[in-house]
Amino acid sequence: MKLKLGLPKGSLQEATFALFARAGFSIKVSSRSYQPVIDDDTIDPILLRPQEIPIYLADGVIDAGLTGADWIADSGAQVHEICELRYSKLTNNPIRVVLAVHQDSPVQGPKDLEGKRIATEYVRLTERYLSEHKTQAHVEFSWGACEVKVPSLVDAIVVNTETGNSLRAHNLRIVDTLLTSTTRFVASRQAMEDDWKREKVESLEILLTGAMNAAKLVGLKMNLPMAQKEEILGILPSLKNPTLSPLADADWIAAEVILSEREVRDLIPRLKRAGATGLVEYPLNKVIY
C-alpha cells in the first residue's frame, strides 16, 4: 500500500521539503523531474502545481497533498482538510490575496470596479468577490506576473502577496483583502475512508505539526543555586512548568524548560544575572502537544 502525496511545485516547494526534513523525511528531486524520491517506501510523492492539488484530491487521483488555502477556496473542490501548517515561501506569516490598483488610480473600493478590467490567477475568487459587492467587471485569467499589467493593460489585479515587495516594486496600492491564506495539509475523502491511508495521513499530521511547533521553540537548561531557586523560577515564563532535577551537590538544582526562541534572548541575561549558571540553549526537532 502507498499514499500518493501531492507536493507543491513553485513558491512552497523549498519550504515544504525543509518541513518534511524536520519531520524526519528526506525528499530529493533532480532539477527537471517532477517525480521526487522520498526515504519512505509507503509514500509515492509527485510534484504538482498548487492550483491542481485540490482538484486531483477531489477526484481521488491523489490521496493527500499540501497546498494553499487560497487555491482550495478558488477551486471550490471538496477536500478533507487535515490541518493548517503556517508557513509561506519566506516567512511563517499567512499570505494575502489582495485587490490592487496603481498608486494613481481613482479606485478606492470594490464598487469603483464597475465596468473595469481585472487580471488575476484567482478568477473564481475574484468573481465571487465582485458578486458579493454587486459589481460587474471584466475578469480575465492571467498566467502570472500580473503586477506588470497595471495600469497599461488592466485597471486592477487580484494577486497574492507575502512581503509586499512585488506590489511596491510596481507602485501598486492595496484596495482590499479578499482572503488570507496559509498552507494546508489535505486529503481526499476516499483516502480518509481507507483505514491504512487514514492512519498514514494522521501519522504525517503528527510529524508535520510536531516539526512546525518545534520551529518556534527551543530548550533551555541551567543550574540554579538552591538559595536563588524561587527567584530564578519566578523569571521563567509562568505558563511553563520547568522540569527540576537534583544535582550531586545539594546546594544546586538543574532546571529545564521549553520556550519560544523570541523569549530566550530576553531571559538568558536575566537568568544569568539572577545567579543561574551552565545555561544551555538547544534546538528542538519536534514538539507534540
Ligand X SMILES: O=P(O)(O)OC[C@H]1O[C@H](OP(=O)(O)OP(=O)(O)O)[C@H](O)[C@@H]1O
Binding site for ligand ATP (CB under 6 A): 10-12, 50-51, 67-68, 70-71, 88-90, 95, 121, 144, 160, 162, 181
User: Choosing among ligand X, Mg ion, ligand ATP, none, which partner's interface includes residue 165 (Cβ < 5 to 8 Å by kind)?
Assistant: ligand X
| Count of residues interacting with Mg ion (CB under 5 A) | 1
Q: How far is the CB of 13 from ligand X (least distance, A)?
A: 11
Q: How far is the CB of 266 from ligand X (least distance, A)?
A: 29
User: Choosing among ligand ATP, Mg ion, ligand X, none, which partner's interface includes residue 109 (Cβ < 5 to 8 Å by kind)?
Assistant: none
Q: How far is the CB of 81 from Mg ion (least distance, A)?
A: 22
Handedness of CA 210, 212, 214, 217 (dihedral sign): negative
Q: Kindly tell me which of 10 and 269 has the beta carbon lying closer to Mg ion.
A: 10
User: Choosing among Mg ion, ligand ATP, ligand X, none, which partner's interface includes residue 52 (Cβ < 5 to 8 Å by kind)?
Assistant: none
User: Choosing among ligand ATP, Mg ion, ligand X, none, which partner's interface includes residue 145 (Cβ < 5 to 8 Å by kind)?
Assistant: ligand X
Q: Residue of minimal CB distance from ligand X?
A: 144
Task: Point out which residues bind ligand X (CB under 6 A).
Answer: 11, 144-145, 147, 159-166
Burial 235-244 (b: 16+ CB within 10 A, else e): ebeeeeebee
Q: Kindly tell me which of 95 and 257 has the beta carbon lying closer to ligand ATP.
A: 95
User: Choosing among Mg ion, ligand ATP, ligand X, none, which partner's interface includes residue 156 (Cβ < 5 to 8 Å by kind)?
Assistant: none
Q: How far is the CB of 166 from ligand ATP (least distance, A)?
A: 8
* Residues of the shown chain interacting with Mg ion in the complex, contacts defined by CB under 5 A: 144
